[in-house]
Structure 1
Amino acid sequence: MDFTALKTLQDKCTCHICLDFMEDPVTTRCGHNFCYACLNLFWNDLKGIIFCPVCHTCFPQKSFSRNYQFRNMTEIIRLLQKKRSKRKRQEEHSVCQKHDQPQILFCVKDQDVLCTQCSLSVEHQGHYTCPIKKAGSYHRKILESAIITFKCKVKQVEKKLALQHRRVLELKEENEYKKKEISYEFGQIKLFLQNEQETRLNETYIEELMALSELNGYLETLSDYVSTAKDLVKEVEAIHEGSDVTLLTSTPRAYDRLQNLRYPKPWSFRTKQYGLSLPPQYSGLDRIIEQFQTDVTFDIGTAHPQLVISEDRRSVFYKAAKQCVCASPGKFHFWPALLGCKGFHSGRWYWEVKVGDKPRWTLGVCQAHFAGDWSSQPSGFWAIGRSTENSYVTYGPTRTELLPVVQPSKVGIFLDYDLGELFFYNMSDRSLLYTFRNSFTSTLWPYFYTGTDSESLEILTTPHQTQIFTWF
């Protein structure tokens, strides 16, 4: 039989995944053949797009057909291969070139094939020898075990290959998403800049109209002054050239008019200086969080008596049960609120608070460390809060209503003490809620109002820990 043709048929009947004869062969739409189990295992590892392991042709769904011709051909080739292997092993006995005898023994120590006379020589004296058939059977088993192990490793590599193909697709999808995200972010910045440009141009146009109106009025005033001054000069010159009697009788009046003619006040106009200041969500909110995030915890000494604070002092909620608590000048008594343990008198600081779906809450900073005298809103207080279901307001120099597009469940607070700026962010959509600008002159303390519902208010500046609640 032509063994080259047999080798070609063996290659045709080999699975591209396990590299062994195909078991229960199946054919894909693109014409490639695999073991049924191998193809199923390969496709089960994929998520999303299904593709051929050989040509990577994509399929909308798992689709293949049984190939009974290949199954029959594989069985025939296996029988031919067994017959060929048996005949080959029978013809394997070679002749010793030294003694011209068949080599039928195997030296275990030297791993060498010997004839009978070689096994009796001094070189192999005392060495263990056994028949070639026995040694071949033993080593064939070892080799078969090694082949099985190696095939397992090959399958593992193929699985990793399939995984890498899947990761390539995932990487492409991830990069596409990032590109869309970047395009969206820059689109928002362009929209902001466009609106900012239109606003500034309109302000400049209105400023120009007002300046021109004032300037025209000033020019009319100057023209009236010049006209009056010229008439007065002519009148005085006429008096000067007249008779002595006219001069003496008219001079006091003319002199008085010259003295009382007032020069118009100088007109001045200063144009407004415009500087572009991007909102923090466009200028690196992540960098603000990374660089200035600080560890804020609740101050138990300022907490309202009906507030329950966690052991790590990062979570608090209101409980309706009344408590007999001794009066303290540092505690809130008029509403459920408390302050943070850490005060700020310089630098930049950022912290986050989870408000969830609480119907009422207020967050901010204040200048008063001792809360007992707060029977009404104190001065030196800057905060925002939720007052009703859909109403958000600011507390400070002025009261302003906020209309966030997305209801905030987490609020980020960034304090730039030295610049006198306090920013509030809606971390649900990373938008800017409100900005306070003020000249801070004393230590500021984080302020928290919980409302009278039972849902907790949580500080999220550090990883959340198991909460153990105690009364204070």
Structure 2
Amino acid sequence: MSTSLPEEDLSCPVCCEIFQDPVLLPCSHSFCRRCLERFWKSALLRSCPVCRRRASKKSPPSNRALKNLCEAFQLGKGQGNASGSNLLCWRHGEKLKLFCLVDQEPICVVCQASKMHKGHDCSPTEEAALECKDKISSAIMVLQQKLEVFNKARQSSAFILEHIKTQAQRVERQMKEEFLKLHQFLYAEEERRLSALKEEEEQCVTAVKSRDEDYTRSIGSLTELINTMEQTLKAEDLTLLQNFKATIEGTWSTLQDPERMSGCLVDESKYLGNLKYKVWEKMQTIAPYSPLILDPNSAHPCLTLSDDLTSLHYSTPNQGLPSNPERFHISAEVLGCTAFNSSSHNWEIEVGDNEDWILGLASESVKRDQEVPARPENGFWTICFRDEQYRAMSSPPTALQVEKKLQRVLIQLNWDKGEVVFLNPSYQEVIYTFKHAFTEKLLPYFYTQSKHPLRVLSKPVLLSIN
């Protein structure tokens, strides 16, 4: 029904296009809502653009009947004019020969001349279609690449989840083994101390019993002497007088008074005084303190770390490690797990027979996915041993004079003074000193391509009482 109406009856008097969201004024004229608002914005009074009658309402009501007629007209126009791939303009019924580059839509030549597209750049539909296809193809390639990135990230997530489970199981097993050693030590120490207590108890009991036997013999002698003297008292006077001298002298020659038994009790303080501390102090023989712990999450796959994370050596690559950002991916490097940004710190490394190593400190932000020289400009302060030569990795590298092959290297960091000092602990000789105004956190740094281990030496624990 609507398709039989003339297009002029369904056109807005302002834009001359099919009504879009038509509204009805009190004067019975209809306009596109947007066209009316645009007209009122530029006019002094809110009036009808056709008859100039003043409108009483700020927001005129929608003309739903007219809107339905326009929609039916556009639908019938589009369906009736469809011919193969050449669709007609739903507004003007003309062929869509142009593509508006501003509004990104196909239009007809009448649309190009209308107010809606006037002054817009346009291209022939064939040319525009080729350009759009190229853009869509390029967009698809970008999205496919992005999809591949996300698929790889998801695969990496699955791999990391599996690695986390493996890590947790390995750490749990090692923790149980370490605690078992501690338990065995405590049980053995408990048995040793209880055995010592039992031995002292027996010694004290034996000593008291021996003294008690002496007392028993003394009591027997005194009892016998008292009986003899009592018999003397009962004798006749002459007999008493005759035996008096011997009897009275025997009285003064009797045993001395028993001495008080000192030190015969169990020394409780020896067993209970600071018991936990003494056991802990002795426990250091099986639980040494390491001033430095290696970070396995930063270790290159070619490095194998000890269970206690205090030594490393070069080995066959471990393919079961995730490619996390903290890990070195190019060179056989690893960092310590504690970062320093103040005060003084030192640790000693046993290099032994290792003939290819680099030791020192690295900034927290050093590149881990690229191979860069371990020099100060790249955030490294190190010395190295390679090809039987010692060098400080300065810029350029500095050859070091070392009389005997180093077995150990002592590294001292004074962050506040900006110094990294390398020493030979066997002779307390300074090997090399770096000076730099540090601004980042520093981490202990290790590199090796030798199967001989580099080992962090333990330190004795010194206590101070506050």
Asked if Structure 1 and Structure 2 have the same fold, meaning a TM-score greater than 0.5 normalized by the shorter chain, the answer is no
For normalisation by structure 2, the TM-score amounts to 0.43
For normalisation by structure 1, the TM-score amounts to 0.42
Larger Cα-atom Rg: 2
